Structure 1
């Protein structure tokens, strides 16, 4: 071994030791995740309850109401209560210390917080715990959420992807109990976060504990505490904060002006108070006007007991106020814009109070407050009936009895389906054959028997959202927020796996399997899936999670001749070797290793059976399903435009940045007098387009009216374009790029040519057969089993053979039989049900 090689190995070993330690010492978030991961092995504290309201910003709301009920119950006198509060100077801290002995306090991300989060038996939250949180099986997580939604949530928010709410989705999946004020709320919350049918927890439709505070609090006591005159009527203005960080003063000044105008118009009989965002409160405080603001630390629901009239806009506060049967006014100067940008669940025109679009209109309604009760009595009663039927002041009592004392649990609601549940990882939703195969499969699965969920990273790339929107609407999508939780020891163990795989028994003993299982649970929470399917098959991280996941059956897909993929080079570098070295060692942990064609399975069996105990049983094939209906529809979508005396087929339209500008891309419509050949595929070495271009160059010399259209994108784009130019064929070989709908162009061409050196199945072959095109294809793995029986012309994998085949098409034509795609799809689905879905 030469010196350079020795030096390289030594350097790699030193980095292996130093890099994780360096990251641990320099990155606070890494240390937080590592400490938390250590603490999850500590014993559970059976009589400890952790409360976190609004990410530790206050001691209030549902969490506070539950706390009060528990500390007053003699059955729980020896329980320890831990409040998460980031500002230890919050007056509520001193109040709780003064009144209760068994209470302690911590702040988000602190060492004590991590330990309590990992070991407290009961976890109560009204929003969400941090990304690194993983509920242990012994813990009980109660999520109360924080209001009946007027505004849309999650997927229902206009112009926004689900991944912005990924941690809420994840927290809901972790919760054992979801406390709901009404049926409307839990249905909207679970459905908008795409988990209604897979939510494994139970819904307690028992009302909000915080509303008990409103109903049981003495209004005069509130006024005394907050120095509000007893002889005045109280108007509370509680708007949603919609300012911009950095421009808080602008928004706060507007609110101040509004409060002063309302106060002036209503006279001395009223006092107008503002319940504001933290930024606004600080502004008022700085300007010595904080007496107009309700302190942020004071519980809003207790405050409502002292309020005579409520003014709000889009806040859920009005639902909590309704049981008092006092007037509500909605000040919504921008509701049309809000509707367009965000959206509402409820009809703004039928709210239980007037909607005012200007300050003058609001003041006019306030000055005639005596007629509002009669005018809006019908809407008020409807809202009380639909949203407040639980508001009797006993919600906290019901919660404690149901969850802590295990009484009346038959009243709990389950939304979980009893269908077989399938969990897929689909490879990142890039524009490739794997993505199309998944989309096609999901369009054909029997949803009366199967509940389908896809899991993916929350990273964004240009193709992802476009492809996710193509998924069947019955498919759930879960997103992975944050990063891998690992202790320092598990980090080293994981790095070893990434370097060496898990090929031996000794490697399997040192692999951090518990960390992989913990990470999958961090994403899916309590959700239970029968079948885990790594449909992507190229990502070692996801292959590890699925290999060790708690499924009845695990399957991993092989979309190609994987040994050829292992040896594939692009620009002198091995494309997949680093990943596949690890993934090959994981095949033994899967129950089924699934190739996507019979011939691909034969080749994979020959090359990979050494890694798979019981390979004869485990290695199977499942043909890809084809989206025949969409293909037949898309082939007829042919928009054309004429300019400069030529007719162009429009293949791409883009107007995302400015709706007033349309950018189009098109190609000249293939002429009938030409011989138009077409190739569709990624511009990558295994697709053999370099060989095809050389073959076409030979053909073109003899048939100058021949054209070749190449559809696709990839790492060889520049190389192939230069090759065509060097051959003087830049006007005869047309590179169309990646097309959303290649089938319109395919339909206009005469013959499809596949020049691949190997394929998984050659999905594009079947797409061409559905369009009804004659096919020329190299006789290689993944192609042979698709075209055998006369569905196309198979030729040797050489330039000469491809040239002769294209000549044959021109001079003689190619015989081919009709493709029965409906029978094919039925057979493919039966293979999927048999080889993947049977436990």
Structure 2
């Protein structure tokens, strides 16, 4: 079945989509037309909300192509991608924030810009062409083809992105900041998140709030809606039994249904983050709060996936064996000894995130 899906994808990428683009490319490029596209959400992804707002306030024409390929069915997804290709042929700019097959399926016009915002900061676990889990061996074509600009959060992310996207050394990957991090510099946004948190989680009042945000594992189609126990989750469950703490689980949206608040909203409201391999910790660095890296399956995950950095040197308490989390949480909340390490990581991987990234990206588009 997997082989059949791969063959269908390559048929679309190399024949159907290029034909639709070629058929429509006779029409001139409309420099004012900006297309926002994503195939993992049925509405505007969080990663695009700030740039969408700025573009809507400008004189450009914003067109949205959002759909969740895993919920609408293959035929509906195919039709939406075909429609995108027709509009792509005349667009001045296309903005994406994740893998989006159609954008790489043709030789685009030179006058058309493609901006990849990506959906994570820094460079943690291997992805793209550095990971067989992301792009299987034998896949023909480059899914990152046609990018004009890839925005990254800091200087330390440039080299990993170059190898992961097979873009080579050039001027495409730029550390001009990640748009969605601007909200962590927005006092109004943070205030609204805290108000929402008090409403949604009234039982958390008077307790230390802990967010458990593990990485996504495996194939999104296979995992969606399943309720599998994740590595280390039993110890998180034990932590939830302690009346001193209020623990919130925020698993990847492809694993479980979305909760009352998004992970990004919760970051503004919690006292401590626990994760294994999620790049969400890079965002959390901007808030300068303690982190526990809890990865009981570290040896296996490291051998299968790998990292761009030394896991043992991460800016927080690193736990790579099954262990009771309570004493580690108590110790870290009472005495945070990792502040200087967080500052070093932030200066390397998040130095371009200053609250003005969206404006810089918009200036490139406009």
Identify the residue that residue 61 of structure 2 maps to in structure 1. 79
Aligned pair 1:398/2:360, yes or no? Answer: yes
CA displacement 1:156-198 (0-9 Å, x = unmatched): 448999856765x442x4111121211221221113444324x
Aligned pair 1:365/2:339, yes or no? Answer: no
**Aligned residue-pair number:** 341
Aligned pair 1:222/2:193, yes or no? Answer: yes
User: Is the CA contact (8 Å cut-off) linking 2:35 and 2:65 kept in structure 1?
Assistant: yes
Aligned pair 1:149/2:123, yes or no? Answer: yes
User: Is the CA contact (8 Å cut-off) linking 2:232 and 2:294 kept in structure 1?
Assistant: no
Aligned pair 1:203/2:173, yes or no? Answer: yes
Counterparts in 2 of 1:721-800, with a 5 A limit? none
Equivalent of 1:238, from 191, 213, 236? 213
Change (3 A) 1:35 1:159: closer
Which consecutive unaligned segments of at least 5 residues does structure 1 have? 1-26, 91-105, 283-292, 406-839
The TM-score normalised by the length of structure 1 is 0.37
CA displacement 1:258-288 (0-9 Å, x = unmatched): 54322212x2x54322222345324xxxxxx
Aligned pair 1:38/2:11, yes or no? Answer: no
Identify the residue that residue 259 of structure 2 maps to in structure 1. 294
Aligned pair 1:49/2:34, yes or no? Answer: yes
User: Is the CA contact (8 Å cut-off) linking 1:59 and 1:85 kept in structure 2?
Assistant: no
Counterpart CA distance in 1 for 2:331 and 2:306 is 30
Q: 1:376: how far off? A: 1.5
Identify the residue that residue 151 of structure 2 maps to in structure 1. 179
Bigger Rg over Cα: 1
Counterpart CA distance in 2 for 1:272 and 1:235 is 5
User: Is the CA contact (8 Å cut-off) linking 1:311 and 1:329 kept in structure 2?
Assistant: yes
Aligned pair 1:65/2:50, yes or no? Answer: yes
User: Is the CA contact (8 Å cut-off) linking 1:352 and 1:379 kept in structure 2?
Assistant: yes
Larger RCO (alpha carbons 8 Å, 6+ apart):
2
Counterpart CA distance in 1 for 2:12 and 2:305 is 35
Equivalent of 2:270, from 301, 307, 316? 307
Counterparts in 2 of 1:527-566, with a 5 A limit? none
Change (3 A) 1:319 1:165: farther
Change (3 A) 1:243 1:397: closer
Counterpart CA distance in 1 for 2:43 and 2:232 is 23
Equivalent of 2:163, from 188, 191, 196? 191
CA displacement 1:518-555 (0-9 Å, x = unmatched): xxxxxxxxxxxxxxxxxxxxxxxxxxxxxxxxxxxxxx
Change (3 A) 1:280 1:163: closer
CA displacement 1:773-798 (0-9 Å, x = unmatched): xxxxxxxxxxxxxxxxxxxxxxxxxx
CA displacement 1:361-391 (0-9 Å, x = unmatched): 4332112232452x22232121122112122
Identify the residue that residue 342 of structure 2 maps to in structure 1. 380
Identify the residue that residue 260 of structure 1 maps to in structure 2. 237
Q: Please give the secondary structure, in 1, of the residue aligned with 2:55.
A: helix
Which consecutive unaligned segments of at least 5 residues does structure 2 have? 1-10
User: Is the CA contact (8 Å cut-off) linking 1:331 and 1:356 kept in structure 2?
Assistant: yes
Q: 1:209: how far off? A: 1.0
Identify the residue that residue 137 of structure 1 maps to in structure 2. 110
CA displacement 1:590-640 (0-9 Å, x = unmatched): xxxxxxxxxxxxxxxxxxxxxxxxxxxxxxxxxxxxxxxxxxxxxxxxxxx
Q: 1:225: how far off? A: 3.9
Counterpart CA distance in 2 for 1:363 and 1:343 is 28
CA displacement 1:377-435 (0-9 Å, x = unmatched): 2321211221121222111112222x034xxxxxxxxxxxxxxxxxxxxxxxxxxxxxx
Counterparts in 2 of 1:281-680, with a 5 A limit? 281-282=256-257, 294=259, 300-358=263-321, 360-373=323-336, 375-401=337-363, 403-405=364-366
User: Is the CA contact (8 Å cut-off) linking 1:158 and 1:343 kept in structure 2?
Assistant: no
Instruction: State the superposition RMSD in angstroms.
Output: 3.6
Change (3 A) 1:256 1:387: closer
Change (3 A) 1:80 1:342: closer
Identify the residue that residue 213 of structure 1 maps to in structure 2. 183
Identify the residue that residue 125 of structure 1 maps to in structure 2. 96
Counterpart CA distance in 1 for 2:189 and 2:313 is 31
Change (3 A) 1:79 1:64: same
Change (3 A) 1:178 1:302: same
Change (3 A) 1:178 1:28: closer
Equivalent of 1:271, from 243, 246, 271? 246
